[in-house]
Amino acid sequence: MNKRLVQAKLKTMLARYEKGGRGDHESKFNINRDKFVVEYKGRESVLPRKEFEILNLLYYNRGKVLNREQIKEEIWTKSDKHVNARTVDVHIKNIRELIGQRFIKTIKGVGYKFNEI
Confirm whether pTM is higher than 0.75: no
Q: Indicate the DSSP class of residue 66.
A: B
Residue 56 CA to residue 73 CA, distance in Å, equals 14
User: pLDDT tier at 27 (50, 70, 90 boundaries)?
Assistant: low
Task: Tally the C-alpha atoms within 13 A of residue 105's C-alpha that lie toward its C-beta.
Answer: 11
45-49, long-range: CB within 8 Å, 24+ apart, which pairs? 45/98, 45/99, 47/95, 47/98, 47/99, 48/94
Per-residue model confidence (pLDDT) at position 33: 86
3-state secondary structure of 2: coil
C-alpha dist (Å) from residue 20 to 27, 30, 43, 115: 12, 13, 22, 21
Per-residue model confidence (pLDDT) at position 67: 94
Q: Are 99 and 38 in contact, with CB atoms under 8 Å apart?
A: yes
3-state secondary structure of 117: coil
pLDDT at 79 over 50: yes
